[in-house]
């Protein structure tokens, strides 16, 4: 990971879109601080579209999709997108899976969740679980603190049940389906903007902070980890190309400043 200041100005000048994780990337201690919010505003004013992609549930994401100056929010690791509807204060919700498949998967996932709670001592569902439609989440660092062996066991159980599983900075997420953050990014750019992300990938940057961002770090030629990603350094199969000096929201603000200073 090279210092963010080494990102060439010519490459920064061509950036027209930012895809970003939310928890511990945009947020600091669970809050979007003034510097991060100002960075979102500045990017929007400059015509740079920002699309957060998160493992958080769609229900949790709804107020932020209305409040933040973002083009959309993709929730539940690529399964659901929220965009503003024509009516003031309204949102449009898009799903990757149809309603029948979502219902069937939801029932299966609840059974897996109960198995995890029975078999792995100390586990608890994430407190935002009521807002989830297409995945389950086990808390490992937000309110409940699980040792690494327990985190590994939860991932193992999800995979044994045929689920995809990923570990964010706060939760262990599991779901049925072939979607993920990378496919969700492609999908939302196509649905929202009518364009193909891979054809213009040099014009986008991805910003993240943990192991569930690895697919994005691998795929995007322009990728940045905020400084707190160092705690996952030995677990990253693909590291971001650059790393900010600041952690969390301050690091995101650095990325925005780097982009805007080259315009």
User: Residue 121 maps to which CATH number?
Assistant: 3.90.1070.10
Last residue of a domain, one of 147, 175, 203: 175
pLDDT at position 87 over 90: no
CA-nearest of 158, 154, 156, 155 to 120 is: 154
Total domains, the chain: 2
The answer to whether residues 13 and 55 belong to one domain is yes
Domain that holds residue 229: 2-96+179-261
The answer to whether residues 137 and 212 belong to one domain is no
For the segment 146-201, what is each residue's pLDDT rounded down to a tens digit? 999 999 999 999 999 999 999 998 999 999 999 999 999 999 999 999 999 999 99
pTM given for the model: 0.93
- Taking the C-alpha atoms of residue 77 and residue 168, their distance in angstroms, rounded to an integer, is 10
- Report the SS3 class of residue 207: strand
User: Residue 34 maps to which CATH number?
Assistant: 3.40.50.1000
């Amino acid at each position: 990971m090279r210092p963010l200041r080494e990102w060439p100005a010519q490459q920064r000048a061509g950036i027209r879109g930012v895809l970003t994780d939310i928890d511990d990337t945009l947020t600091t201690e669970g809050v979007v601080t003034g510097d991060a919010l100002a960075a979102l505003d500045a990017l929007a004013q400059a015509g740079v579209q920002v699309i957060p992609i998160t493992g958080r549930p769609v229900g949790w994401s709804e107020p932020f999709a209305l409040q933040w100056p973002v083009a959309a929010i993709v929730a539940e690791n690529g399964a659901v997108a929220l965009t503003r509807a024509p009516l003031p204060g309204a949102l449009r919700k898009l799903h990757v899976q149809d309603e029948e498949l979502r219902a069937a998967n939801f029932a299966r996932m609840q059974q897996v969740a109960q198995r995890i709670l029975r078999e792995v001592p100390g586990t608890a569902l994430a407190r935002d679980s009521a807002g989830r439609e297409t995945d389950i989440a086990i808390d490992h660092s937000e309110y409940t603190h699980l040792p690494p062996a327990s985190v590994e066991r939860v991932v193992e159980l999800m995979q044994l049940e045929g689920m995809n599983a990923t570990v964010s900075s706060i939760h262990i997420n599991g779901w049925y389906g072939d979607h993920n953050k990378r496919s969700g990014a492609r999908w939302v750019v196509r649905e929202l903007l009518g364009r193909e992300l891979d054809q213009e990938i040099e014009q986008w940057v991805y910003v993240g902070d943990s192991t569930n961002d690895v697919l994005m770090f691998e795929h995007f030629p322009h990728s940045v980890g905020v400084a707190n990603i160092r705690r996952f350094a030995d677990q990253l199969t693909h590291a971001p190309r650059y790393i900010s000096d600041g952690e969390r929201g301050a690091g995101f603000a650095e990325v925005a400043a780097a982009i805007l200073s080259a315009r």
